[in-house]
Every structure is written in C-alpha cells, then in structure tokens.
Amino acid sequence: MKDYRIAMSESSEALLTFSDKDKKTYLAFVQDEKSFVEVSCSSSDEISEFFDRSKILQNFTHPQLSKTVDVYIENGEAYCISQFIDGEDLSAYSKRVHSVPVEYIIGWMVQFLDGLLALESRGLTASLSTSRLYCNEIGEAELIIPECAIYSGSRETNLGNEVSEIIKHLSNLQEPGEPMVCPREIEILASRIGGMNSVDDVLMEMRKIDISNKGNLDELFYPRSFLEREMFKRFRPEHLLPDNFVAMQKGLFHSKYERLFEDQTTQQVFRIIVLPPERIVSREDINLDENEKNPVFVQVKEVDEHDDFLLIRESYSTGFSIEEFIERSGNRSLDEIIYLMQRVHEALDEVQKSECSLKQLFEFNVLVEFEKLGGYGLNSLVSVVPLNNWPPFEVKVRTHLTIPTMTCRNYSQAKDSSDELIAKVKQGASVSSKQLFGWYFYMQRTSLKYAASSFLDDLKKTIGPASSKPFPNTVKINQPATEVIKKNLSTEPILEGDDESSLGVSPIAVAMGYNRRSEENKDDEESNPIAKQLNKVEDMDEILDLSLLDSGESSLEEFSKPRRNKSIIFALILMLLAIGLALLLAHLSGRAFWLQSL
C-alpha cells in the first residue's frame, strides 16, 4: 500500500478508526511527510462510485472538511488517503457528555452545516453522527467532517430531526435515565427545525441564536481523542511518573499529550510529552536523540518506554511555540514577524551546524523561551505586547516529533511561492504570519536552506532599512539572557528619525521639536521651554523605568528606602501645613462654614 505504514492495535491487527458496510478506515503514518493519515478502502463492490467520490474530495477544500491528499487503485482495490482527525465521533460524545454550554453546541452545528452545504453543491452528503469533535491547533474544541463520514448521493434521514435530536442530547441538564430537560432556547430551536430537510433553512435558524459570549469550555466537555483512547486504556501518564512530580497548569493551549510537572525535591519544572508506542509510530520516525547537547535544542532529559506510550521528559522554560504565536497574534506588524523569523533563522543555522535533519521542523517544534517575563503575563506576551517590549528571550528547537506535529497540519491552505508572497507584501496586500512562517518552515524542512535565507532577505528589503534596526531585548545564540539585560535598557526607538511621518506626528509635536532627531532637539531646547519641560518629564519616567528593570527588587522595596521615606514624610507635612493655612484664612475672613450658623 504505497508508502503508508499502517498502525497496529494491541492484538496486532490493523488499527481501525472507522468501519461500516461500505468502507473501512485505518490509521497510518506517512514517513516522508512525518504525519498521520487515514486510509479508507471500499468494502463493497461499488469501487467506481467510491473512487469518483474520492476524486471529488481531492479536488476541493473547505475548513470544515478533512483534506483528501491522495486517491489511487492498487490490486483491484480503491484507496482514499485523507488528513487524520484525532477526535471523537459526535454520536459517542453525545452518549458520554451532557449539559454542554448552548453556545458551543450551536457553534458545532453551524460548522457541520457549513461543511454539508459545500458537499451538497458537489453531489455529496455527510453523516452528523460520524462527524468528529477535536481540539484545533490552540486547543479549542471544533467539529469537522472526516472523509469517512462523506457519502455519494442524497441524505437518507431528515436533517432537521437529526440535528434537533443531537442538540437535545448534548444540552440535556438531567443525568442519563432521567427525563430530559433542555434549556429554553434549545427546546424552541428543536421545535423549529424538526422536519426541515434544507441545509439553508436549518442553518438560518441556527444563526438566529447569539453565540458571541462564548466562555471557556470546561475540561469535562472536551472530546476524548482517538489516540488518547488508544493509549490511555490502562494508565494515564501521571500514574507512571515519580511520586514527587506534581502536575502544574497545561500552558497556553489545551492538550492531553503535553503537561508541566514540578519535581518537588529539586523545584525543577519539566515538560512531559506523551508519544505513541512503537506499534503506532516507530521510534526511528519520531527521531529521538537523548544525547544531543546543542544549546539551541530543547533538552530531552529522559525517555520512559511503556507498552501503551512513550513518556518524554524535557527541560522547561516559560514560553510558547511559534504555532501559538501565529494563532494568537493576528494584529502583529510585518516588521515584528520578520524580526522573529530572523531569530528563528539564526537558531536553525546552529541546528544545521550539528548536521541535524530538519524534517521534524514544524511550528509546534520551535519555541520562544523567556528567563523572566518582565512583569507581563504569558498570554499578553504572545498576543498583544509589542516585540520591542518583550523581555530577553531565546529560540529553541525540538528535534523530535510530537503528536500535534503529526496531526495538526494545515492541509487546506495552499502554499504560495516566495515570489508571490514578496509581491503581495510589496503591493500592501494582506499576508498573514501563518503564510510567511508556513512557507519559510516548508523550505527549511525540504532542505531548501538557501531559498529560505533568500526569502527572508527579500522580506527585509520590503520593509526598508528603517525597520531592519535590531529590536531591543535580543539574545544571541549561545549567549545567556542575563548577559544582555543591562545592554537592552535603552529606550531608543525602533524606527529611525527619518520615519516620523509614518507615525503621524501632530503639528503641535512638530512645533515643540518632536519631529527631529534627539541631537537637534538638544540644540533647540533653550529656545523651546515647553519641549524642555516635557523632555525632563520623559527623562525622569525613563530613569524610573530603568531602575525597575535594572534591579531585581520590587517597586514596594524601592519605596522602603530611607531617602524615599524622608521625601514622603516631608511631602505629607507640607500638605498638612497647606490645609491648616487654608482653614485659618477661611476662619479669619468669616466665610468658614462653621461660622455661618453663628
């Protein structure tokens, strides 16, 4: 079966992800692409119908459909290769979980109906019960239609009745076996869509319900992924760790395969990563190397092999992956993205000096790590804090695969060429960080090192020399972050003086001399008293900020210094004297309120 390695179950049989009277679907691993796929083959005599359906799926993409990547016939059998969705069938989920928040239920149904609408326009249909709930790249629960849930022809059941039945089971507030009680809006919606068979009509009713105030989904409501069910039948990872390991928060995104643990004896924090056993993915394909000591690599401290899974113990520093940066920072400027790409490029240069393969290079495997957060929260750093305000950080590269790198692939996004992306940037067209990083990593992964370097150089040229000035708070390769903290205490702006026009300097600022370089401002301060006073205030703010950065003490500790205490006491005395003088003058003038009644 071409180059696909079929995963095996505990009983040494091919591992099925789906089976019915028409087809069987198996889990497989593609060694060249380093990813999981699902291999479906027709189990009926209608091979031509199965093949035609698969070719239709291969020729179009939709966000709510798994991507079909290959279709072929071999030894009289038709095969369809599609993206593996590591999730849980909706029918199994609805039997296991109830009282799901209404906003999530409606959101999942809208996702299914959007995908179904695209399928029906091509003469295909899909089953709601075999659609899958899964966790996306940033750990949010979504519904997607896998290839195995898609059929030729028209629906055999009434769409409205099927949807209303599912949403009532998911929202049921009672325990199984008790009379069903649903939220009011679900009862009204189910009565409206019951009997409807038009996707447009059901979708219109769904979209009438406001789901904008969607809160965080509780852990109890997350789907149980396929690999989780396969690997955690007897033990969970935490059961096999030493007793002195205590679980911490999961991090920025929800994952069943990665978690932080603290060794209470040493207070050291480790990232524990779960990987499939040998029967599902070979250790050679995972590319584990415990002896690699390059400082750019994420260090693997220990590998524990068990019958059900592998446990990888990695050293941990506070940070996030490039994938999390991409997904959570949609408003980043181009120069910020290019700067971070440059830092990644420097780290990858060090990786290649070790003659290490980059075939495992994916966005999840490149990490931004901070020694200290500088007063910011991790969520703020990854999403809103400008890169020039980031504390010192390092870029680390993980050399082995993880389950997210083997499953979370953006097959639906077509790859642009370097020339096309550069042309879009020059024209001012919308280009996302996902496109730029995705194409850059693709070239590095396929050994196009010089093409990747040239692509990065061309990107730098598009933003001009003004934005190519290094950001503060940078750490060079193999240089500890602590060595550059004092060097980076400069408040020098990122843009050169010739670029004030891009910042929209106001006429008042121009009149006060703020559109000139700092050297010119010094010459004109004496002739511009307003600017002089403002500059003094800014200088004082800068000094205060730098004192906080330069010292490990908190602001409360700074306030406790004797000189500061004397200043505060003196200010309080002056304030009390001023109040007493005002009261005395009011009394002598006869206008005090306590004299009005006399």
CA distance 94 to 168: 9
What pLDDT is recorded for position 219? Answer: 83
CA distance 521 to 528: 9
For residue 575 the two structure tokens come to 């304030």
For residue 423 the two structure tokens come to 């042309």
CA distance 140 to 255: 10
The pLDDT-based confidence of 377 (bands split at 50, 70, 90) is: confident
CA distance 376 to 381: 7
What pLDDT is recorded for position 411? Answer: 46
Summarize the confidence of residues 77-104 as an average pLDDT: 94
- Whether the pLDDT of residue 90 is over 60: the answer is yes
- Counting residues of the chain whose pLDDT is more than 70, the rounded percentage is 78
More confident residue, 565 or 321: 321
More confident residue, 463 or 553: 463
For residue 167 the two structure tokens come to 């949403």
What's the angle, vertex CA 427, arms to CA 424 and CA 429, rounded to 5? 55
- CA atoms within a 13 Å half-sphere pointing along the CA-CB vector of 317: 18
The answer to whether the CB of 18 falls within 8 A of the CB of 39 is no
What pLDDT is recorded for position 506? Answer: 42
Place of tokens 């490029």: 345
CB atoms within 10 A of CB 596: 8
Three-state SS for 170-203 is: HHCCCCCCCCCCCCHHHHHHHHHHCCCCCHHHHH
The CA-atom distances, in angstroms, between 242 and each of 175, 239, 261, 301 are 37, 8, 10, 14
Report the first-to-last Cα separation within the chain, whole angstroms. Answer: 107
The pLDDT-based confidence of 134 (bands split at 50, 70, 90) is: very high
What pLDDT is recorded for position 417? Answer: 78
The pLDDT tens digits for 172-229 are: 999 888 889 999 999 999 999 999 999 999 999 999 988 887 777 888 899 999 999 9
Please give the DSSP secondary-structure letter assigned to residue 412.
T
Summarize the confidence of residues 292-312 as an average pLDDT: 86
CA distance 118 to 212: 24
CA dihedral 138, 143, 145, 146 (to 10 degrees): 50
What pLDDT is recorded for position 563? Answer: 55
Please give the DSSP secondary-structure letter assigned to residue 123.
T
The answer to whether the CB of 335 falls within 8 A of the CB of 462 is no
Q: What's the length of the chain?
A: 598
The answer to whether the CB of 437 falls within 8 A of the CB of 459 is no
- Residues contacting 163, CB < 8 A, separation 6+: 109, 113, 128, 193, 202
- Whether the pLDDT of residue 67 is over 50: the answer is yes
Summarize the confidence of residues 70-86 as an average pLDDT: 92
What pLDDT is recorded for position 464? Answer: 66
More confident residue, 30 or 549: 30
